[in-house]
Amino acid sequence: MPDDALAAYADVLEVLQLTHWNGKPLHEANPDGAVGRWNFGPSQAGQVIYLILDEQQEVHLLLVQWLEA
């Protein structure tokens, strides 16, 4: 991953610690679902997929991917 993408990824992780519901739902048809996604980096080429466990106050990263543009 390029340096600017790594910085953007670090920003995503920081935001997820504070406001995990700010990302987009993985499936638009299920906006209240517990799985979210967050695009990041130049041209939004990176994506984080994560699971929100509200009762446990946890966010689990399921997938981090970078598609080279």
Residue among 8, 22, 11, 7 at smallest CA distance from 52? 22
Per-residue pLDDT of the chain (69 residues; tens, 9 = 90+): 899 999 999 999 999 988 888 889 999 999 999 999 999 999 999 999 999 999 999 999 999 999 985
Position of tokens 């499936």?
27
Which secondary-structure segment (H or E) carries 35? strand 35-40
pTM of the complete model: 0.89
Which secondary-structure segment (H or E) carries 16? helix 3-18
Burial class (CB in 10 A: 0-12, 13-18, 19+), 34: middle
Q: What pLDDT does residue 20 have? A: 84
Query: Hey, where are the domains in the chain?
Result: 3-66
Q: What pLDDT does residue 69 have? A: 59
SS3 41: coil
